[in-house]
Amino acid sequence: MKKELTLVSLASFFFIFLFIFVLTLSNLASEIRINEVELNPYDSCNDCTEWIELYSSEEINLNGWYLKDASNKIHYLNFSFKDHIIILNPNISLNNNDEQIFLYNPTELVFSTIIFSDSNNNDKTWQYCSGSWYFRTATKNYENNCTIESTDIQNNSIIDNTNNSGNNEQENEENNNKEDEIKIKFDWNDEEIINNKEFEIEIKASNLENNKYDLKIWIVDDSDNDKIISEIYNEDEEKWQSGNYYLENVLKGSGSDKTKVKLRLKKDYQDFEDETKIYARLRLNNKIICDEKDKINIIKEKENTINPTLSYFNHTEIYDQENQINDLTKINSKVIYDSSLTNKLNYIYYILGFLLIIILLLLIIKRVKIKRLEN
């Protein structure tokens, strides 16, 4: 009888552990962020409420999670969702000026916005777009408007999420005509753009002023709403970083300048093979000066082909958690791409389910034997 109780206790412990383990893996696999924020609603609307939109690529349980604003007020979350969800009139301030919002799980910070403002009562919101925030007409419950428009640079309505301070499009209205004339161009060897190798991208900039400019280059999966899939090598810090990061002071004026930057695809995208988009952005004093994009064809390495690029694992990989979160997928009503982590989790679920069946069978057999002995 004691043996039976021991087995039952062990089985109960295993089931509890399994439940916690699966729940934890599910939350780790999910990609979640603050996706859109309405600080100052339009006065004449029927439902003039401030709101925050969250986005998650997969089903996630937010029990114990919470939002916090710049004044440390807290709004607790206790629900499960997938894709996007609107939180109306949250129990935090959402001030019209110098506001910042943080998303926490029960133990740590998961995502934070830039410091932004909205002094006009209109239908515009701050929208997250591949590492930056755009001030655009609200897209509540729809895909964010992440198209770069010609007026964005003039109105300063784009702020990089990698910089934790900034002003809205009503501020910094000075427009330098010379900045508008700055151009950047790409150059690379098509045969070197291999999905599981490092490769070099050359950037040429013209009409630069006598300043030092920061440069960001990233590749996206345009079939998955421009999700960032590349990493960039920081020569100064000797480490790989997400494509969401800038390389500081790499281009210098006045006149023209050029530089070569090492890129590679993230681990989850080593099998990616398709024509997609590559972006480059120049920044000066935390202000976006110039954006450019182009098409790039990612190819698969041919068998027995010696490629001159360096090995994918040449450098120590250092991943920054907040940076990984900032690279999260864009909101999408279509089927979301299953990452390699998701696929691995599916296999783990199958294995754990099989183990559960085996344990249950062993318990049943043991109980039958004990009953026979008692009889």
- Is the entire prediction scored with pTM above 0.85? no
pLDDT, mean of residues 53-65: 91
Q: What pLDDT is stored for residue 168 in this prediction?
A: 38
- For residue 325, the SS3 value is helix
Cα separation of 28 and 19, whole Å? Answer: 14
Q: Is residue 51 a contact partner of residue 34, using CB atoms and an 8 Å limit? A: no
Q: What pLDDT is stored for residue 160 in this prediction?
A: 57
Q: Is residue 123 a contact partner of residue 40, using CB atoms and an 8 Å limit? A: no
Please give the residue that has the higher pLDDT: either 331 or 320: 320
Cα separation of 160 and 128, whole Å? Answer: 10
Please count the other Cβ atoms lying within 10 Å of the Cβ belonging to residue 195.
19
pLDDT, mean of residues 182-190: 90
- Residue 316: exposed, middle, or buried by beta-carbon count in 10 A (0-12, 13-18, 19+)? exposed
pLDDT, mean of residues 357-368: 83
Range in 19-33, 200-214, 304-318 the model is least confident about = 304-318
